[in-house]
């Protein structure tokens, strides 16, 4: 598969085979489907960091084994701790089984099951202990204090020991050229070249640098081939079976890289970014970072996995059911008032875009009489609203019936507000990354709404805040947004004021 020609230095333009020579003669280099030869990327000593991987490293089960290394070690350690504690107390086994499941879920949601490049257990000691101790609070009503303390101590000791043994085994395997992963460097500047050299010099890190992606003019003495431009990231990942991507100051605009990296999340690669001014110490815990021989890396979220989606859906179901039960009397009163006002049926139904390529009929309390342009009218004139309708819109109580949409799974309690198809198509053409906000279900309230961005306000700002919410989602953030929404509803907080 040929790619668009990019300016390349002489060292990067050298064909490594007859097929590559033909491709170069045709004006397309490097061909993405071509796997670079070892001589093109090795330091001349056959390090495990070379692009040519041994057959054992391409074993189909390697990816599964690496992905399950830490979860498997944690599961065995927690099961052992639970077994010892159960044998000592003789209490119901479901308590200990529930604790193991809760602790594993906490570790997964906290990102502790991501296999770091730097396999140093001490960096994440605090987060591991918090994930182990936190779920035990749920069991305290059924488990006495001494038994709970014993369970925590056994769990902490066995989990840390299991992780230390697992990481030591992985480092030993990496040094022998086993269980290594193909890595790609986006950017080919001095820092990127330094990282490539470090990866080859330290095989225990487990990465085999395959090449660079860069669009700018480059020196002729690069130690790795240039495989294309940053915009070709997805194609290069597929062609070279890349498992790790390190973004290190590529030429071009950062805004363009945001789009490229988001599009590649579905490919299942682990992506890290070298921060600007990385030589300066940042006020960020080491547990949240990765590193290549003391060059800090910021891991990017790989999207919302099964555990996170399950947690959010559970939060939605429980929250919506409770809120709907509490709001039922109020809805009955408001419905009667709307019926007496003569504007029409109590409920107003409208098609909205609730996720990428997914529509749903959302419910609202009626604030207007039937009109033909409700799907294309952006602002409703105030004079058309009754006093009751104005109050419902100002307090957003007209949105309460959407709790039913949440229970159906069409919406979430918190998320980007769903828009009408007509305006969705228009904004997709006019506003960069508008479609990115549809990566998560539309919500009853959202991060943009608690910042005061609803009604006739800046759509650009809404898109920015909606995408920030999707990127940094957590159950805690959902709880914060719901609390801020409730505070605004009862007048304790003005929408958009400092949090």
pTM: 0.77
What pLDDT does 496 receive? 58
> 483 and 349: one domain?
yes
Using alpha carbons, select from 189, 191, 199, 213 the residue that is nearest to residue 261: 213
Q: Which residues contact 36 (CB under 8 A, 6 or more apart)?
A: 16, 30, 51, 52, 210, 211, 225, 227, 240
Structure tokens that stand for 226 in this block: 């240039």
> 207 and 282: one domain?
yes
> 313 and 453: one domain?
yes
Question: 283, 299, 315: which is the final residue of a domain?
Answer: 299
What pLDDT does 329 receive? 93
- 314: Cα separation from own chain's centroid: 19
> 318 and 287: one domain?
no
**Is 496 inside any structural domain?**
no
Q: What phi and psi values does residue 285 have, to the nearest 5 degrees?
A: -60, 140
**Is 386 inside any structural domain?**
yes
Element (H, E) at 375: none
Place of tokens 């958009």: 496
The length of the chain, given as a count of residues: 499
Distance CA 400, CA 339 (A): 17
* 477 CB neighbour count, 10 Å cutoff: 13
When divided into structural domains, the chain yields a total of 3
**Is 214 inside any structural domain?**
yes
Q: What phi and psi values does residue 81 have, to the nearest 5 degrees?
A: -65, -40
What angle, rounded to 10 degrees, do the helices at 306-341 and 475-489 form?
A: 20
**Is 106 inside any structural domain?**
yes
Structure tokens that stand for 65 in this block: 């084994």
**Is 12 inside any structural domain?**
no
Place of tokens 């487990």: 206
What pLDDT does 58 receive? 55
**Is 498 inside any structural domain?**
no
Strands (E), 154-299: 181-186, 207-213, 226-228, 244-247, 270-273, 290-292, 295-299
Q: What is the pLDDT of residues 300-356, one digit of tens each?
A: 988 777 878 888 999 999 999 999 999 999 999 998 998 888 777 888 899 999 998
Q: What CATH number does the domain containing 188 carry?
A: 3.40.50.720
| Low-confidence residues in the chain, pLDDT < 70 | 1-60, 371-372, 492-499
Element (H, E) at 482: helix 475-489
Distance CA 7, CA 21 (A): 17
> 318 and 439: one domain?
yes
Q: Which of 405-431 are b and which e, b meaning 16 or more Cβ less than 10 Å from the residue's Cβ?
A: bbeeebbbbbbbbbbbeebbebbeeee
> 92 and 216: one domain?
no
What pLDDT does 454 receive? 83
Q: What Å distances lie between residue 109 and 158, 426, 474, CA to CA?
A: 20, 36, 9
Question: 236, 264, 299: which is the final residue of a domain?
Answer: 299
- As a dihedral over the C-alpha atoms of residue 326, residue 327, residue 328, residue 331, rounded to 10 degrees, the angle is 170
Using alpha carbons, select from 82, 94, 109 the residue that is nearest to residue 314: 109
> 295 and 319: one domain?
no
Domain that holds residue 396: 306-489
> 480 and 362: one domain?
yes
What's the CA angle centered on 442, arms 271 and 401, to 5 degrees? 155
CA torsion through residues 114, 116, 120, 124, sign: negative
- As a dihedral over the C-alpha atoms of residue 403, residue 405, residue 409, residue 412, rounded to 10 degrees, the angle is -50
Distance CA 71, CA 339 (A): 56
* 255 CB neighbour count, 10 Å cutoff: 9
> 313 and 439: one domain?
yes
**Is 202 inside any structural domain?**
yes
> 117 and 141: one domain?
yes
Distance CA 200, CA 382 (A): 67
What pLDDT does 387 receive? 85
- 138: Cα separation from own chain's centroid: 27
> 195 and 170: one domain?
no
> 46 and 185: one domain?
yes
**Contact at 8 Å (CB) between 223 and 14?**
no
**Contact at 8 Å (CB) between 31 and 23?**
yes
Structure tokens that stand for 25 in this block: 């003669």
CA torsion through residues 273, 274, 277, 283, sign: positive
Question: 160, 175, 190: which is the final residue of a domain?
Answer: 175
**Is 375 inside any structural domain?**
yes
DSSP state of 419: B
- Give 95: exposed, middle or buried? Use CB within 10 Å, 0-12, 13-18, 19+: buried
């Amino acid at each position: 598969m040929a790619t668009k020609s990019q300016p390349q230095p002489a060292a990067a333009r050298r064909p490594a085979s007859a097929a590559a020579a033909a491709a170069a003669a045709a004006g397309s280099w490097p061909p993405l489907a071509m796997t670079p030869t070892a001589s093109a990327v090795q330091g001349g000593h056959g390090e495990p960091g070379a692009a040519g991987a041994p057959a054992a490293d391409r074993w189909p089960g390697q990816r599964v084994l690496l992905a399950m290394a830490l979860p498997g070690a944690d599961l065995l350690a927690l099961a052992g701790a639970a077994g010892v504690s159960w044998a000592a107390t003789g209490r119901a086994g479901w308590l200990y089984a529930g604790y193991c499941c809760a602790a594993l879920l906490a570790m997964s949601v906290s990102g502790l099951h991501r296999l770091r490049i730097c396999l140093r257990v001490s960096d994440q000691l605090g987060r591991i202990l918090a994930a182990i101790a936190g779920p035990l609070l749920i069991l305290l009503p059924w488990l006495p204090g001494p038994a709970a303390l014993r369970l925590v101590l056994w769990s902490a000791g066995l989990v840390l020991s299991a992780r230390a043994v697992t990481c030591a085994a992985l480092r030993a395997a990496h040094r022998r050229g086993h269980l290594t992963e193909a890595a790609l460097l986006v950017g080919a500047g001095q820092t990127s070249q330094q990282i490539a050299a470090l990866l080859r010099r330290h095989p225990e890190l487990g990465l085999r640098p395959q090449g660079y992606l860069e669009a700018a003019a480059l020196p002729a003495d690069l130690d790795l081939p240039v495989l294309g431009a940053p915009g070709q990231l997805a194609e290069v990942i597929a062609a070279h079976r890349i498992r790790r991507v390190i973004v290190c100051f590529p030429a071009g605009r950062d805004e363009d890289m945001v789009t490229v990296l988001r599009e590649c999340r579905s490919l299942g690669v682990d992506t890290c970014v070298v921060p600007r001014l990385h030589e300066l110490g940042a006020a960020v815990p080491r547990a949240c970072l990765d590193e290549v021989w003391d060059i800090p890396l910021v891991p990017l979220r790989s999207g919302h996995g099964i555990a996170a989606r399950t947690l959010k859906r559970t939060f939605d179901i429980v929250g919506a059911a409770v809120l709907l039960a509490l709001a039922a009397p109020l809805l009955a009163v408001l419905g009667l008032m709307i019926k007496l006002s003569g504007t029409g049926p109590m409920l107003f139904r409208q098609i909205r875009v609730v996720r990428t390529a997914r529509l749903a009929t959302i419910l609202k309390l009626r604030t207007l009489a039937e009109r033909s342009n409700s799907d294309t009218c952006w602002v409703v004139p105030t004079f058309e609203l009754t006093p009751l309708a104005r109050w419902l819109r100002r307090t957003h109580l007209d949105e309460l019936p959407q709790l039913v949409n949440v229970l159906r799974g069409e919406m979430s309690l918190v998320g980007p507000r769903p828009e009408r198809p007509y305006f969705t198509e228009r904004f997709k053409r006019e506003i960069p990354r508008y479609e990115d906000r549809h990566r998560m279900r539309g919500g009853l309230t959202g991060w943009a709404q608690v910042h005061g961005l609803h009604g006739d306000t800046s759509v650009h700002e809404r898109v920015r805040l909606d995408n920030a919410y999707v990127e940094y989602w957590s159950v805690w953030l959902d709880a914060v947004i719901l609390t801020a929404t409730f505070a605004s509803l009862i007048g304790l907080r003005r929408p958009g004021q400092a949090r």
